[in-house]
Structure 1
């Protein structure tokens, strides 16, 4: 821990945890945080953005942060993928799944046909777009930093928009007028959140784990991506998510954000990461942690830990003979 981090944490009560999350209060992110054991009784700091939440952790003003990383409708959350790919390294400790439902809240006395502007987070808008096109086609969309921020803005004396798409919880907390409920286009939409801290001890393997990586593409040439993927496929490691993101350095320069089934302590995963490091030495390991759905991967016999141990003993025997 740096000197600035030690100074920031010195005033906190010994043993007390401070969590931060994408705020304001009432976001789906806060709902995810409240699933973390002990979080309900801890200090909770809402942040204005994903980057702001992670900065609180990196500077020692919070012990851990909960941020959205993936949505079942929209895919990866680019703000999170980019923020954890650079800067001081962070470590994912666990993932949390939250079912997502939305309501349309409007200024008091306003009917849906009178709504001309509606605000919400971009991912929420994408998940309600078909409903909006059908039910409020006249409404213009205004982006907000979160669904809860849009709901809070609706309470201002002279709000900049007529309605907000938000969670039922925040609408209830704020006493907003709900015009329509359950307006998501996909009934079983889910958002995945992660709990991040500064690098610390890894969670113990459970047999149903996930490993998250950031892999820069060191050189753009035919087959470059295949070289990366081969490190996993040759060892029987399944990828549950892979997305490319621009590094921001120059046009065409990308890194890959990857979720792989397994724990770094698994022989197949460890061997894959060693092979990957030879290809992309600047890869970033973001953690191995339990899967929220507890689903164990199917591992071929020749990729089990026992198979790797047997192969090591066989080779040692040859070299020693």
Structure 2
């Protein structure tokens, strides 16, 4: 990865402000703790910084084990100048309820947080503060900093990561308020196109596939390209292109690397169906879990099949 600021080392951006889960994920990247880090207000803003060369890469949430895909990130990556996912990071998710000094649980009438955080804590809130209203925020940390910024905030408490309490000095009213213990969020480090990470045998490939036309069996055609080559899909979601009603693209994570014969062949088949498909990267899986590859979809099986066809063509040309 070529640095946006060569003399100072790499520059990273993340969904800010300081103390978000995105920053925690970024700090899992070797060297990121010592690198220049710039918070961004949104996924689109972060990726604009990468595209403009103001940052070398952006760390953004892309999938949550409870709520599924993070639409803002999926859409921002799939549109605009091409980018590449360089790696993924899995972060365990736990939440605290923060408020300023002098505010108790009984004083809270409205709570601010990110929509995904609210989805993972609303059961606890309803059980413990049934009359509380929810106020959306750009990030969990942004909700907490709003409490510091103005005494006239539209809410009295914020739901965020425990690290935010240390950053802000806000009081913890309750900890461990997530509804599902063990929930995780998957983050991706996104940079500009360049050399791909080497295949490890436990990799993931992400693509965005627009439907050239909507017709019966259109999705089946796409899925068949993977299924017939033994490529497992770990995530598939439809997202609107924004062009007009009913026009969608499919955001897909598939097990394997583009250098694997089965994956390369599947992507070739997809390109014939949807020439505008967007390859978003092949990168190591965070859990290092290798896929099960059937013998007939192994690289050796593809190579032997190609040799067989070549021999047949050679016999034909020599006859």
Bin the TM-score by the shorter chain: over 0.9
Shift, 1:15, TM fit: 6.4
Q: 2:235 aligns to what SS in structure 1?
A: strand
Q: Which residue is 1:65 aligned to?
A: 58
State the distance in 2 between where 1:230 and 1:98 align: 32
Match runs of 1:281-320 below 5 Å: 281-320=275-314
Q: Which of 124, 149, 161 pairs up with 1:131?
A: 124
1:146 aligns with 2:154: no
1:197 aligns with 2:191: yes
Q: Which residue is 1:37 aligned to?
A: 30
Shift, 1:160, TM fit: 2.2
Q: Which residue is 2:44 aligned to?
A: 51
The C-alpha deviation readout for 1:235-258, integer Å capped at 9, x for no partner, is 000000000000111110000000
Q: Which residue is 2:204 aligned to?
A: 210
The C-alpha deviation readout for 1:259-280, integer Å capped at 9, x for no partner, is 0000000000000000000000
Give me the TM-score of the superposition, normalised by structure 2.
0.96
State the distance in 1 between where 2:167 and 2:92 align: 19
The structure-2 alpha-carbon separation of the partners of 1:15 and 1:179, relative to structure 1 and needing over 3 Å to count, comes to closer
Q: Which residue is 1:97 aligned to?
A: 90
Q: CA RMSD in A?
A: 1.2
Q: Which residue is 1:114 aligned to?
A: 107
The C-alpha deviation readout for 1:178-206, integer Å capped at 9, x for no partner, is 11100000000100000011101000000
Give me the TM-score of the superposition, normalised by structure 1.
0.96
Match runs of 1:213-292 below 5 Å: 213-292=207-286
State the distance in 2 between where 1:157 and 1:184 align: 27
User: Structure 1: any 5+ residue segments left out of the alignment?
Assistant: 1-5
Q: Which residue is 1:24 aligned to?
A: 17
Shift, 1:304, TM fit: 0.1
Tell whether the 8 Å contact from 1:115 to 1:138 is kept in structure 2 after alignment: no
Equivalent residue pairs, number: 313
1:160 aligns with 2:131: no
Shift, 1:161, TM fit: 1.0
State the distance in 1 between where 2:100 and 2:35 align: 34
Moved over 3 A (4+): none
The C-alpha deviation readout for 1:58-92, integer Å capped at 9, x for no partner, is 00011111011000000000000000111000000
